[in-house]
Amino acid sequence: EERSYTFEIVNFDSNGNRSLASEITVSPYGDGWLSTHAERRVYSAVMKGDDALLTLGTPVDEMVFTRFRYKNKDGQVVVSDPVPMDSVDVRLADALKGKYFEYQSAYCPKNGLDVVWNSNWIKTNTPIYYNLADKSWTVSVTSNQVRSNEYGPENMFDGDLETRYYSSTNTSYRKTFPKIVSINTNASDGQMPTVVGVNIIQHQTESKSRYVKAFNFYVSDSGFNPNDSNYSADYGTPVLEASLKQDDAEQQRTFSPVEGNHMAIVFKSSYSTNGFIDVFEFEVLGYVKANAD
């Protein structure tokens, strides 16, 4: 039981002589002790290649390890090796995207001998995010805002860094804003996506060619007209209002989860004096709730 215990320690020699007693009072630590300790926080989990990249909160006092239980791509349940307390970025190898996972931490008091694991696994609030973008999406853009057929807006969602969307070079239209990209995911019943963020990939080496300066992102159950001159009133409240720097080729932004089959990107300004927009990939991060368990 988790209460104080007093031990009396006595030494004997080979002749049976007894020493004076020495006392020590100690308490074991278990579920009661653990109840005063918070669990680790998992801020996000997003697919990067074949693995899920986790961002963890800093450990609480006396935490020693955290381990994870998740499904891999073969549908097998995997328990990870314990992760040391100072690890805040963790990879789950070959994780199955879009699935919830669980975690559990171990603790040990100062001068303790054994670690104690939480008796329960904690289920994450959201599944592992992944890029929802799909070639089956229907994508349209504001009239006269495509450089040529080779640079259509659908290139932003094809998963190929060799293709990209490049806005109009026509003098009459290139400085016109907003430039709106409208997306219909064409999701079937029960497969409506839940969106949690976006990841924008621009020119990999030329920072001066990273043109996107400010944009809004919208998610809805109904469609968006890319030629709506009154979009700010008609589209409702954006789930994201973002400004980008030219420092990084890849920049991610997240927001509270929101469901919807339709999305819109409203490019509001460009770092280019000519008003160009040039995006290699626009990853829409999220999951499908119906498939998450």
Asked whether the predicted pLDDT for residue 262 surpasses 90, the reply is yes
Q: What is the pTM of this model?
A: 0.85
In this prediction, residue 234 carries a pLDDT of 97
Q: What is the pLDDT of residues 106-148, one digit of tens each?
A: 999 988 889 999 989 999 999 999 999 988 999 999 999 999 9
In this prediction, residue 88 carries a pLDDT of 84
Q: How confident is the model at residue 236 (pLDDT cuts 50, 70, 90)?
A: very high
For residue 150, give the DSSP letter. G
- Token pair 């089959």 is found at 261
Q: What is the pLDDT of residues 160-173, one digit of tens each?
A: 999 999 999 899 99
Mean pLDDT of the chain: 95
CA distance linking residue 105 with residue 121, whole number of Å:
9
* H-assigned helices in the chain: 31-34, 231-234
Asked whether the predicted pLDDT for residue 102 surpasses 90, the reply is yes
Q: What is the pLDDT of residues 12-50, one digit of tens each?
A: 999 999 999 999 999 899 889 999 999 999 999 999 999
